[in-house]
Structure 1
Amino acid sequence: MKKLYHLGVLLLSFVCLLMPIYASSLDNTKIDWWLVRSKDHSTPRINEDLKFDLKTYDAYYVGDTSSKVLYLTFDEGYEKGYTPKILDVLKEKDVKAIFFVTSPYVKSNPDLIKRMVDEGHIVANHSNHHPSMPSYTGDPNKFANELNDVAAKYEEIIGKPMVKLFRPPMGHYSEKSLAMTKELGYKTVFWSFAYSDYNVDKQPSHETAKKMILDNLHNGSIMLLHAISKTNTEVLGEVIDQARQMGYTFELFQ
């Protein structure tokens, strides 16, 4: 039995040694995440020129496309004062979401991080400095620290490890950056819906936002909303209600 244990340790060590070598051989050309929206509530098309399968690197942009399920996610780079209201709405509507946070956000908003966790949401990783991750692949330690620093600050506050889900800043990625993210134990979570909600000085109207969101619902949609958006905050409850009237349910992507 002891021999089998030592053999297992040796094999694991060998695999770990090979992983950086494997990632270093991959293409590091920066790719921007983009979608082609459908007009019939079907799954959007993604970049058809990709030379690799996203799932090879545990990267996803949709969940279960066989049923009318939606996955709400919010990106949190800094706090604009709307997250408490967003959490109020999610609690009222009994919807759980993922909040992708940066290191400065975690450090500046420990009480909000605690509330997210206490109310059943997932707090996930959006990097330390919000860089284009392909630009960091040449330095494995620098790359790893972009994720590890966020996770460490989270664990200081919550006392438990952070769930290993990562959203690449700005949607920038490469085959190599996805492989290195996977090597750190993370799933990469892109999105199948996003819209221009992030400019705090040029917010869409309520009607524009609701129409954009509801017209683009589809099975398994991972929805990216920015929590700095006043409009998102104000229409969120109505969007949830109308999505449910259309037959959709909300679940946590994991």
Structure 2
Amino acid sequence: MWKHHIVGIVLAALIISIGFSYQPFSAQGKEIHWGLKRATNEKQAEAGAELDALLEKHGAIYKGPADKKVLYLTFDNGYENGYTESILDTLKAEKIRATFFLTGHYLESATPLVKRMIEDGHQIGNHSYGHPNLARLSKDEIKKELQKFDNRLKELTSLERTTVTRPPEGIFNEQVLEAANEIGHQHFFWSIAFIDWHRDQKKGGKYAYDQLMSQIHPGAIILMHTVSPDNAEGLPSFIKDARKMGYTFGTLDDLNINKLDIPLSFLPR
């Protein structure tokens, strides 16, 4: 499963690196691989008008308002590699709440860290239970994937459920968005990402810092992977210097803006 995960991430990274090139598609059935034109000089990343329209139709979001210098930190957790605790320590010291999109594997294998995320006030996002290609599943199967994660989350932690989701490998179609909406989930993609998932290819904190600073823009939803030592090392400097540039840090719940009738997700039961 994780080999497929890495292959999917590599493909997504290639799309991100060259920018999103729109091709006509049937949003309902054909697989859409998330990608966009990178931000430069603090100008927002762009996914294109047609994809923007599809996302807006279903309340899906990949960036915040262009006129507000707010950043949104999100992390994808498929498996633990020893660096999440450092990232949590940084977020706590800087008084920032982030969103952690977890898989069922992470929920089961790193439960103490999940409980700490919740105790520290972070949001838990649904990255599916088994990390399948959701675009190849039926609507009922998609719902079952998300609900299986929520059911296990309820059993293991103080949370009742999740309300935000991100598709594995960034692969989706309109049916995926619809299925999530029908069970009270809002999709969140990202506008900043970079190659940061090679657990044994350390490039150093400066690499992560430079990648983040080169793409920074108002309203950025930032995707990082907690398996990376580079992210753990570079995050403190990035936060401090982003603040010097006038940026603040918000939460994804701030972006819900009542488009969907979905409850805030920081509330334990």
- Same structural fold, with TM-score higher than 0.5 when normalized by the shorter chain: yes
Q: Does 1:181 align with 2:180?
A: yes
Shift in Å, 1:129 = 1.1
Shift in Å, 1:215 = 1.6
Q: Alpha carbons of 1:35 and 1:203: their partners in 2 closer, same or farther (altered >3 Å)?
A: farther
Aligned to 1:237: 236
Deviations 1:40-93 (A, max 9, x none): 211111144539431211210012332100000000001111111111111111
Taking the TM superposition and a 5 Å limit, the aligned residue runs for 1:196-207 are 196-207=195-206
SS at match of 2:51: coil
Aligned to 1:4: none
CA contact (8 A) 2:204 2:229 kept: no
Amino acid corresponding to residue 144 of structure 2 in structure 1: N
Unpaired segments ≥5 residues, structure 2: 1-25, 254-269
SS at match of 2:209: helix
In the alignment, the residues of structure 2 paired with residue 52 and residue 70 of structure 1 have an alpha-carbon distance, to the nearest angstrom, of 23
In the alignment, the residues of structure 2 paired with residue 59 and residue 123 of structure 1 have an alpha-carbon distance, to the nearest angstrom, of 17
In the alignment, the residues of structure 1 paired with residue 86 and residue 30 of structure 2 have an alpha-carbon distance, to the nearest angstrom, of 40
Aligned to 1:103: 104
Q: Alpha carbons of 1:68 and 1:142: their partners in 2 closer, same or farther (altered >3 Å)?
A: same
Q: Alpha carbons of 1:226 and 1:26: their partners in 2 closer, same or farther (altered >3 Å)?
A: closer
Shift in Å, 1:197 = 0.4
Aligned to 1:141: 140
The structure having more radius of gyration, on CA atoms, is 1
Q: Does 1:68 align with 2:69?
A: yes
In the alignment, the residues of structure 2 paired with residue 50 and residue 114 of structure 1 have an alpha-carbon distance, to the nearest angstrom, of 35
SS at match of 1:53: helix
In the alignment, the residues of structure 1 paired with residue 240 and residue 52 of structure 2 have an alpha-carbon distance, to the nearest angstrom, of 40
TM-score (normalised: structure 2): 0.81
TM-score (normalised: structure 1): 0.85
* C-alpha RMSD over aligned residues: 1.7
Q: Alpha carbons of 1:50 and 1:91: their partners in 2 closer, same or farther (altered >3 Å)?
A: closer
Q: Does 1:210 align with 2:186?
A: no
Q: Alpha carbons of 1:247 and 1:174: their partners in 2 closer, same or farther (altered >3 Å)?
A: same
Amino acid corresponding to residue 233 of structure 1 in structure 2: A
CA contact (8 A) 2:31 2:135 kept: yes
Taking the TM superposition and a 5 Å limit, the aligned residue runs for 1:47-196 are 47-50=48-51, 52-136=53-137, 138=138, 140-196=139-195
In the alignment, the residues of structure 2 paired with residue 40 and residue 161 of structure 1 have an alpha-carbon distance, to the nearest angstrom, of 41
In the alignment, the residues of structure 1 paired with residue 76 and residue 239 of structure 2 have an alpha-carbon distance, to the nearest angstrom, of 18
Aligned to 2:266: none
Q: How many residues matched? A: 228
Unpaired segments ≥5 residues, structure 1: 1-24
Q: Alpha carbons of 1:200 and 1:53: their partners in 2 closer, same or farther (altered >3 Å)?
A: same
Percent sequence identity is 36
Amino acid corresponding to residue 146 of structure 2 in structure 1: L
Amino acid corresponding to residue 198 of structure 2 in structure 1: N
Amino acid corresponding to residue 248 of structure 1 in structure 2: Y
